[in-house]
Structure 1
Amino acid sequence: MTVVDVRNLTVAVGDREIVSGVSFALVAGEVTALVGESGSGKTTTASALLGRRPTGACVTGRVEVAGVAVDADHPPAPGLVGYIPQHPSAALNPVRRIGPVLHEIARLHVRADTRGDRRRLVRERVLEALRQAQLPDGVKLLRRYPHQLSGGQQQRVVLAHELVGRPRVMVADEPTTGQDAVTRGRLIEELRAVAGQGIAVLLLTHDLGLVRALAHRVLVMNDGSVVESGPCQQVLDSPQHSYTRRLIDAQPAPSAQPRPAATGRPLLTVRRVTAGHGRVDTLHEITMDIHPGDKVAVVGRSGSGKTTLARCIAGLHPHRGGEIRLAGRTLSPRLHRRSRDQLARIQYVFQDARASFSEFVPVLDQIARTAERLRGATSSAARSQAIEALARLGVPESSARRLPRSLSGGELQRAALVRALLSGPDLLICDEITSGLDTLTQADLLGVLDQLHQDTGCALVVITHDLAVAAHLANRLVIMHVGKIAEQGRTAELIEAGDLTGSRLVGFP
């Protein structure tokens, strides 16, 4: 049964059409994947199902949900369309417990005239939503705050928020962003269970592996238009449009030639490092070496300690035991106690490039300041270096002179790389910087990292949950599990011993 019918949807802002003549239908109990690179129009299209539109946009065409026309002036009835955001923590109130929020939502959907039965019905509705969201023991979570939940639990709680309303349609916006393979597998089960309840699911994603595992049908968007659609297997195995073939071909693959392992004196040594949050240790006596020109990927499940280790190396998270040495000299656990030279030699590129820039200062000024502060360059020399480096990575000066909000995510990620490289680092740490990128942008960024490594010779540490990215980029793997190094060695040897989807590299039994 058709639950959503979209006909000739066009969304224009000024003279520019963000979405152009899009038509599709969503069927109860089926998952439809909407794929395409950033800026292709996926989110704008999905937002139309919720009656939302960009500020100042003109919307034409027709959107029907459960047989009723929907637009900005007539949004769908409360609870009819559920929405799971890309970052579930953003949908949870950090100062409210899980239970009261769920009960408050449920009361909105239980009729007021049920009188004495209302409290019982609200509780039943909450428990039903928890079960449907794959949280059968969810009652234990009701007294917790969001920060006391894992990322996977937060995501399932947000799903329960939406299921309380008994929706006919569920929109999932990039739900696997930043998720390790195990959490991703659980999410597949959750969304499959949602569709199994007769709910039509619209999945917005860059993850073609997720699409293949979950979707019944695929819509491929490019520049605001649907360029190809059809059954999942047909579209992914026999793509007809050149853009679809580009998306599929851009998925990272293991490097054909294994890179030689670095030898000689290490650039950085980590010895028996222990760190944690509060009184709880999350890193346990970590020991590893990074050599000049090394390319190391640190992989593992969410919560395994990958980012904590990287932040300890950079001085962003103080370790409380062990020692970290750079070129033979001990580094202070605290950033403000490191010398300017030490700060320059280790640079960190964050997962959320947009959040790492001040929204009130032009991007070029922020980049140039790195060379001024850490290398003592004059203002004019620093700006010239920044402009030249940005141009090499495809970011024009005209874009760099704007505020961060005027640049795309890909441009800001390149700008963040340039900002780090202007200090002339010996070690560059990249924390999940390919997470959430479409396959084309991701492939482009991996090429940029490869080229930067060749041009500068600096050692590279990549924190990632994506084993395909690690296999493509790194000569060495460090596999982490519950705050310890479970295994480390040459990438080619570890992959040969246990394939990319095997439990040895993913599940850590």
Structure 2
Amino acid sequence: MSTIAEVRDLRVEIGGRVLVDGVSLAARAGRITAVIGPSGSGKTTTGLALLGEHPRGARVEGLVRTRPGAVGYVPQHPAAVLNPARRVGALLGDIAALGAGCRRERRQRVHEALRLARIPDPEQVLRRFPHQLSGGQQQRVVLAQALLHGASAIVADEPTTGQDTHTKAGIVAELAALAGRGMAVVLLSHDLTVVRELADEAVVMRAGRIVDRGPVDAVLDAPAPAATPRIPRTRRPAGPVRLEVEALTARHRTARGRVDVLHGVGISVAAGECLALVGPSGSGKTTLGRCLAGLHADYRGGILLDGARLPNSLRARGRAELAAVQYVFQDARAAFDEHRPVLDQVARTAVRLRGAAPAAAREEAVGALAELGLSSGTAARRPGSLSGGELQRAALARALLARPRLLVCDEITSGLDPVNRDAVLDLLAGVRERTGLALVFITHDLVSAAALADRTVVLDGGRVTPPAAARATAGC
């Protein structure tokens, strides 16, 4: 069984913080190796090392054996590596042009990569910009890019995170098919159901070290410390209507003109209430959330906050309106300036939107971050030194520092391990019960939705699904 890439006794240190220490891992042809562990355990740092990549300014020790182009990377948030200004066809065409052959041969290679990545209706996908694709479609496009580059191994970082059941099953089938063709797959995941279904070997990391490894069933069935049971919270009666969405029809601009993606959607959320918004990938959940926050202005209909109509565009909203509606993105890394310390960026929200004094804002930011399990020392680093889960918690703290009346959370628990997920859910429950915060919780995680939400609305095809049909599709 040939080894395509490997690291031995890898140690990565940045700014005095050890990210991984003494890690050895290999990507082997035809094998699927799952690397599991809590947020911040070093999974992504180890996976990127197989590509020969390391955080900027890191000190690296140990052996890294790979070759350019041999290992492709599918990140947890694929939009971050897709050029938003170019259509998918142009992105893939540029890669195909690096190889020999005429235009027809290059086009054939693009279509073959799309076929291997299991992209349905490839002609439609090729005409779209990345932001017009669902998360699952974006992942497949990034996978097609790696295949066009000639990769013989794939590092898939949380590929099923934030995906509906149907899309998740498709991703599992794609990765299994790649291994069946002799490719090596390294799967970084919190989803133990997917790990058990897909992987040959499991590697467990904690605090930058490997603490267990072996056949997947043996590792996952090993005794583990008992988890602290979640205590069911007491839901208080909801207050007056905080958010009203009236007959909202939103559009996306495509190569063929504007296309409706939401069709006459109407929802309401009371003060102190949590509404879970679920549905398959591409159903319009994120578009609706972005409309609420003023991030998608191309819509008809009304959005009212405490009875006052909100301007469509973020640019037209005043400081009080900006503070009142906060949005926490699924891709937390893209929401931070990579050149500034995280703590400074969190504190700035209180200064900019509430007029707080800088010293007071910093003290408040330290407290909010600590409540989410992030020390001031960790938060004082730049975003590149934090894990995706740590950045997601920092993004939530930043939004809460605005003291919003409405908070929109887009898949914020999808990249968190169970311990950190529960901490975030408990914090959100406490904040809304203390302050009357209205919460729109966009998710595919039905466990989190059941723990937090008072009501659930299912979107499908850009429409609110009637209650009877919603019960039938609750597994999405």
> Normalized against structure 1, the TM-score is what?
0.78
**Residue 339 (structure 1) shift:** 5.1
Distance of 2:389 and 2:318 partners within structure 1: 32
Q: For structure 1, which segment, 406-415 or 191-200, has the greater mean C-alpha deviation from structure 2 after superposition?
A: 406-415
45-54 or 220-229, larger mean C-alpha shift: 45-54
Q: Aligned residue for 2:222?
A: 239
Aligned to 1:131: 115
1:327 alignment partner, one of 281, 285, 306: 306
Mean alpha-carbon deviation: is it higher for 144-153 or for 27-36? Answer: 144-153
Shift of 1:187: 0.7
Give the partner amino acid of 1:197: R
State the 1:211 CA deviation: 1.0
Q: What is the distance in 2 between the residues matched to 1:312 and 1:99? A: 28
Counterparts of 1:65-464 in structure 2, within 5 Å, are 70=65, 75-76=66-67, 79-94=69-84, 98=88, 102=92, 105=95, 125-135=109-119, 138=122, 146=130, 149-164=133-148, 167-236=151-220, 238-240=221-223, 242=224, 249=227, 257=232, 260=235, 262-263=237-238, 265-278=240-253, 279-318=258-297, 320-338=299-317, 340-359=319-338, 363-397=342-376, 404-405=383-384, 409-464=388-443
Change (3 A) 1:389 1:35: closer
117-126 vs 84-93, which moves further: 117-126
Q: 8 Å contact 1:273–1:319 — kept in the other structure?
A: no
Alpha-carbon distance in structure 2 between the residues aligned to 1:229 and 1:153 = 32
Q: How does 1:461-480 map to 2 (within 5 A)?
A: 461-480=440-459
Number of corresponding residues? 470
Aligned to 2:50: 49
Structure 1 residues 109 and 173: alpha-carbon distance in aligned structure 2, compared to 1, 3 A threshold: farther
Alignment RMSD (CA, Å): 3.8
Q: Which residue of structure 2 lines up, in the alignment, with residue 22 of structure 1?
A: 23
- Is the alpha carbon distance of 1:381 and 1:32 closer, same or farther for their aligned partners in structure 2, counting shifts above 3 Å? closer
* Structure 2 counterpart SS, 1:284: coil
In 2, the alpha carbon distance for the partners of 1:361 and 1:25 equals 34
CA–CA separation in structure 2 for the residues paired with 1:447 and 1:121: 55
Q: CA deviation at 1:193?
A: 1.0
Equivalent residues of 1:10, 1:17 under 8 A apart: no
Give the counterpart letter for 1:483 in structure 2: G
Letter of the structure 2 residue corresponding to residue 505 of structure 1 = A
| 1:36-94 superposed Cα distances (whole Å, 9 cap, x missing partner) | 12332323333343344555534325x6xxxxxx2xxxx42x55433333333344445
Choose 266-275 or 8-17, whichever is displaced more.
8-17
Q: Which residue of 2 aligns with 1:113?
A: none
Change over 3 Å in CA distance of 1:210–1:56 after alignment to 2: same
Q: 1:331 to 1:163 in 2, by over 3 A?
A: closer
- Greater Rg over alpha carbons, structure: 1
Tell me: CA distance 1:98–1:488, structure 2 relative to 1, closer, same or farther (3 Å): same
**Superposition TM-score, scaled by structure 2 size:** 0.82
CA distance in 1, matches of 2:120, 2:369: 51
Q: What residue identity is the alignment partner of 1:198?
A: G
Say if 1:13 and 1:447 are closer, same or farther in 2 by CA, change over 3 A.
same
Tell me the distance in 1 between the aligned counterparts of 2:106 and 2:352.
58
Paired residues of 2:40 and 2:389 also in contact (CA < 8 A):
no
Pair 332,182 (structure 1): closer, same or farther in 2 beyond 3 Å: same
In 1, Cα distance between the equivalents of 2:418 and 2:96? Answer: 39
Q: Cα gap change, 1:488/1:216 in structure 2, threshold over 3 Å: closer, same or farther?
A: same
Pair 1:53–1:137, CA change in 2 (3 A): same
**Structure 1: 5+ residue runs without aligned partners?**
64-69, 111-116, 499-503
